[in-house]
Amino acid sequence: MSNEELTALIQRAQEHGFSRRQLLKLFAAGGVGALLAACERPPGPDATTLSVELPWVKDPRPFVQHPTNLETRLELLDGVITPNELFFVRNHAPTPRLDASQYVVRITGDAVEREVELTLAELERLPSESVVAYLECAGNWRGFWLTETGRVASGGQWARGGVGCAEWSGPTLASVLALAGVRDTAVDVDVIGLDDGAFSRAMPIDRALDPTTLVATRMNGEPLPADHGYPARTVVPGWVGSTSVKWIGEIRVTSEKMWSKNNTTSYVLIGDDWPAAEYAPADGGPITTGVVKSALALPRPARLDTGSHTLFGFAYSPQGPVTRVQWSADGGGSWQEARILDPVLPHAWQRFAFEWDAQQGRHTLLTRATDTGGNVQPEEARFNEKGYLLNIVLPHEVVVS
Ligand SMILES: Nc1nc2c(c(=O)[nH]1)N[C@H]1C(S)=C(S)[C@@H](COP(=O)(O)O)O[C@H]1N2
Ligand SMILES: [Mo]
């Protein structure tokens, strides 16, 4: 059975109410037979009739559903902006439903001159900035460690839909912090969520004061949806999704480096190929920025009629616009240039397109992005145990009939 057939089988079994993770376990234990048995199970109850509380608020049906995450189907997207209702959700706890009339953000820490509390109305009275930025989970593509390298990385087995791009609006984090007065001694800014477990991630003061770092209260012109951090979240363009903390409750400015779960044991690069000692107290190097990637906006495997098609995809890099996307239909023997479509915006992803004359049979398409820094998607991946930042040139099977 090919990797693509395995992926298709897992997708089919997912429609029967199993999570991808459960299915990978089933597969590990019982092979293809166990997966086929999962496909025999009557389909799970429709999401609207589930009696348990869902970990998210929005309609999960357009997504690939994981236990606490909703994965975007890239083939449903046809522009630079990902509509709010199709934007992936990555939650470590159920979406909290916060009452804006009770909401305050506290600015605290030993490196502010005074602690302040801001209401949503006060945040919204500050000058608002907008940035169109893509946001990607550091674990996006994690499922392909198994199918492409044969190694299982721990964590949610995302395919390619843990990424999206929106217009985020709200005050800069710098203007919010200015209300509390940042001392010269400030080193780190820890942003702490109001969800169960108080998800938090610290960033260095320079990144916090960067004019692109926002306290977003709006997403694509609407108030932030509950699942995306209502009433306010940080947005840190170019940095991995976990640094954009949803449902902000507290922002702590400190004159010492801040360590918490999300920069010591999670979102760190660990494994045989990664040095550990120099990062103590973290287990490995904490991840900051993402990596250059490209993905076709087609299901896997894709099914196309014979004949000429314009195929679309998305390419992105934390360094800014991707300057080049190449594609290959012969396993990388020869490469052709894809067109990068307008608009090209500094922190957004880019759409690309190319024409392909599809002949009957099974094909594997490859796409490869290069960014302004000359970074190119590699052929080989350097494994890390938590499966972050995979960006190899990914084979995409297309069945033409
Ligand atoms: N408070 C809080 N913020 C959070 C998270 C979370 O679980 N709780 N998940 C993070 C992770 S890992 C990612 S990838 C992004 C996902 O943002 P989205 O759900 O709006 O797509 O939110 C980040 N911010
Ligand atoms: Mo994430």
Mean pLDDT of 373-379: 96
Give the atom of ligand 1 at the shortest distance from the alpha carbon of 87. 21
Q: How far apart are CA 126 and CA 114, in angstroms?
A: 18
Mean pLDDT of 289-310: 97
Lowest-pLDDT range, 84-98, 280-294, 387-401?
A: 280-294
Give the atom of ligand 1 at the shortest distance from the alpha carbon of 247. 1
pLDDT of residue 11 exceeding 80, the answer is no
Lowest-pLDDT range, 4-13, 181-190, 267-276?
A: 4-13
Q: Which mutation among 242, 250, 251 tests ligand 1's pocket best, with the greatest number of atoms within 8 A of CB?
A: 242
pTM: 0.88
Question: What are the CB-based long-range contacts (under 8 Å, 24+) for 328-335?
Answer: 328/365, 328/366, 328/367, 328/368, 329/356, 329/363, 329/364, 329/365, 329/366, 331/364, 331/366, 332/366, 332/379, 332/393, 335/368
pLDDT of residue 334 exceeding 80, the answer is yes
Q: Where are the alpha helices (DSSP H) in 128-188?
A: 143-144, 173-178
- Among 279, 267, 290, residue whose Cα is nearest residue 387: 267
Query: What's the DSSP call for residue 204?
Result: E
Ligand 2 center–CA 305 separation, angstroms: 36
Q: How far apart are CA 234 and CA 248, in angstroms?
A: 8
End-to-end CA distance of the chain: 20
Give the atom of ligand 1 at the shortest distance from the alpha carbon of 138. 14
pLDDT band at 276, cuts 50/70/90?
Answer: confident
Ligand 2 center–CA 138 separation, angstroms: 5
Ligand 1 center–CA 90 separation, angstroms: 5
pLDDT digit string, tens, across residues 314-328: 999 999 999 999 999
Residues in contact with ligand 1 (CB, 6 Å cut-off):
87-92, 135, 137, 193, 195, 199, 228, 241-242, 244-247
pLDDT band at 36, cuts 50/70/90?
Answer: low
Mean pLDDT of 105-122: 98
pLDDT of residue 227 exceeding 90, the answer is yes
Model pLDDT, residue 278: 78
For the chain, domains (ranges, CATH) are 3-80 (no CATH), 100-286 (3.90.420.10), 293-400 (2.60.40.650)
Ligand 1 center–CA 309 separation, angstroms: 36
pLDDT band at 6, cuts 50/70/90?
Answer: confident
Ligand nearest to the CA of 200: 1
pLDDT band at 32, cuts 50/70/90?
Answer: low
What residue owns the CA closest to ligand 1's atom 5? 91
Give the atom of ligand 1 at the shortest distance from the alpha carbon of 136. 14
Ligand 2 center–CA 146 separation, angstroms: 19
pLDDT of residue 384 exceeding 80, the answer is yes
Lowest-pLDDT range, 184-188, 227-231, 233-237, 378-382?
A: 378-382
What residue owns the CA closest to ligand 1's atom 11? 242
Mean pLDDT of 82-86: 98
Model pLDDT, residue 50: 34
pLDDT digit string, tens, across residues 38-48: 655 544 443 33
Mean pLDDT of 192-217: 97
Give the atom of ligand 1 at the shortest distance from the alpha carbon of 139. 14
